[in-house]
Amino acid sequence: MSLSLLYQSSDLVAINKPHGLLVHRSPIASDAGEFAVQLLRDQLGQRVYPVHRLDRKTGGVLLFALSEAMNAAMQMLFAEGGVQKTYLAIVRGYTDDQQEIDYPLRREDGVLQEAFTVLKTLQRTEVDLPFGKHATSRYSLVELTPTTGRMHQLRKHMAHILHPIIGDRPHGCNKQNRLFKERFAMDTMLLHAQTLRFRHPQTQEAVMISAPLQPEFSRMLTLLFGQQLAGDRL
């Protein structure tokens, strides 16, 4: 697999991570044989350091440092809130035009942490797809901007407001996930890391990195919302 490079400088490189690709080896995913860290290392011929994480089933912008010093600087920038992240997601139901989700999340060790996400609805659709007692199904395309970086924050926040991300397991709706798998042969999670914005720690240059949609997200966007939106809006 050759990874698509979105940005490259002497000390940073960003890829468009495909859905389903792990960032690095994990004991909870023993079935995986390929990892972004190893693939990018082999592609560039040098050591790389992931400065943040994306879930296995999330696609989009993934940033790496090319030195230990830049890795430390970028991780500090993320920790201090100096990196703005925006995501796209397709979720169940009609979401509000805008919404602030201020809902603390509990870590695995039981500690409760503040978590805050801003939601903006980009488009809504009602499709001829019977589900349960309903003759049609409703979905929303949303832009999500987290100001904290908790584990599975966006997935948990969308489930909390009863608009789960399509394809999310275990936080999403299993019946919807099964419907998409049976009707569309779609078995990924429709969450895309669209942009990263930050100031370079050394040069203070403003950096914005954007990732085109991965094919499966584009396919579902076209099927649910129409080709015009898929081509013209994103």
Which amino acid is located at 207 in the chain?
V
Q: Which residue has the tokens 């290392």?
A: 41
Of residues 11, 31, 42, 55, which has the active-site annotation?
55
How many beta carbons lie within 10 A of that of residue 228, not counting itself? 9
The yes-or-no answer on residue 11 being catalytic is no
Q: Is 36 exposed, middle or buried (0-12, 13-18, 19+ CB in 10 A)?
A: buried
Whether the Cβ atoms of residue 158 and residue 91 lie closer than 8 Å to each other: yes
**What contacts 221, CB < 8 A, 6 or more positions away?**
90, 141, 213, 229, 230, 234
Q: Which residue has the tokens 């015009």?
A: 228
Gap between the Cα atoms of 213 and 199, Å rounded? 24
Gap between the Cα atoms of 11 and 133, Å rounded? 55
Catalytic residues: 55
